[in-house]
Copies of this chain bind each other. A is one copy, B any other.
Amino acid sequence: MPPRTGVTRDRVVEAAVRVADASGAGALTMRALAEALGVAPMSLYHHVPNKEAILDAAVDAVFAEVDLPVVGAPWRAELRRRAASVRAALVRHPWALALMESRRNPGPATLAHHDAVLGTFRAGGFSLAATAHAYALLDAFVYGFALQEATLAFRDSAGGPGPSGAEGRPDVAAAADGLAEVLGGGAYPHLVEFVGQHALQPGYSFAASFEVGLDLVLDGLERLRARGAG
């Protein structure tokens, strides 16, 4: 599948996101990227300085998908919607989380994102000090939850596109199966209870804890706000 037109920086970044979505971060090599674009590996270097720049741009592309909060609108509803949007983006692009940790150059979408969140806190009556604590807590929760979801999910080597609506419940069952042998002895009684009596029960969904946790966090933020500067 040769490209209709020449390679561009944007086309390289789009392809990078597509390849990572389909096959994971490990499959995102310059050679694979070039093949996806129907071009020789070295051609990429005419539109991008190196692989790092591609990763920077790919992470920024994920941030560009996030539903920004509206500065001045009721902070709690806005930040609730934004938190769910960040998590959804990270579920769509599980490779992005690990990359974010090593990025040093935030792109325009990333900067606009942080600006909107900070503005929403400030307009909602949070002092600068409270905003710092609140933003740290809120994003620790959002990113940490996404990290746990990524850990539970199985996107080992292969990975394929997979059902896009697979929000429900990762393979807790498979993980538990692998553990069954180890759990044989009397060690880890609470782990056995939890997995057997709860996590493996029909109705269980790890994702359900997101809403519960988010509301508790937002409750905490409201008390932080009411408490004043600090």
Residues 142 to 164 of chain A near chain B (Cβ within 8 Å): 142-145, 147-148, 150-151, 154, 156
- Does A202 sit at the interface, judged by CB under 8 A? no
- Measured as residues with beta carbon below 8 angstroms from the partner, the interface class of chain A is 35 or more
**Surface stretch bound by B, among A11-19, A33-41, A113-121:** A113-121
Indicate whether A104 sits within 8 Å of B156 (C-beta atoms), given known contacts A137-B213, A194-B118, A220-B217. Answer: yes
Main secondary structure of the interface of A (DSSP, over half): helix
Residues from chain B with a CB closer than 8 A to the CB of A221 are 216
- Does A3 sit at the interface, judged by CB under 8 A? no
Residues from chain B with a CB closer than 8 A to the CB of A132 are 194, 198-199, 204, 206, 209
A8 CB to nearest chain B CB (Å): 22
Indicate whether A216 sits within 8 Å of B212 (C-beta atoms), given known contacts A144-B141, A188-B115, A190-B115. Answer: no
- Does A48 sit at the interface, judged by CB under 8 A? no
| Set B128, B131, B175, B223: member contacting A216, Cβ < 8 A | B223
* A129, A150, A194: most-surrounded residue (chain B CB, <10 A): A194
Residues from chain B with a CB closer than 8 A to the CB of A112 are 187-188
Q: Is the CB of A148 within 8 A of B137?
A: no
| Set B139, B187, B199: member contacting A144, Cβ < 8 A | B139
Indicate whether A140 sits within 8 Å of B133 (C-beta atoms), given known contacts A216-B220, A220-B220. Answer: no
- Does A182 sit at the interface, judged by CB under 8 A? yes
Name the residue of chain B whose CB is nearest to the CB of A117. B190
| Set B106, B148, B175, B187: member contacting A140, Cβ < 8 A | B148
* Cβ-closest 6 pairs across A and B: A144-B144, A140-B144, A216-B220, A137-B213, A136-B209, A119-B190
New A-B contacts (5) at CB < 8 Å, excluding given A118-B190, A136-B209: A101-B147, A118-B193, A128-B194, A140-B142, A216-B220
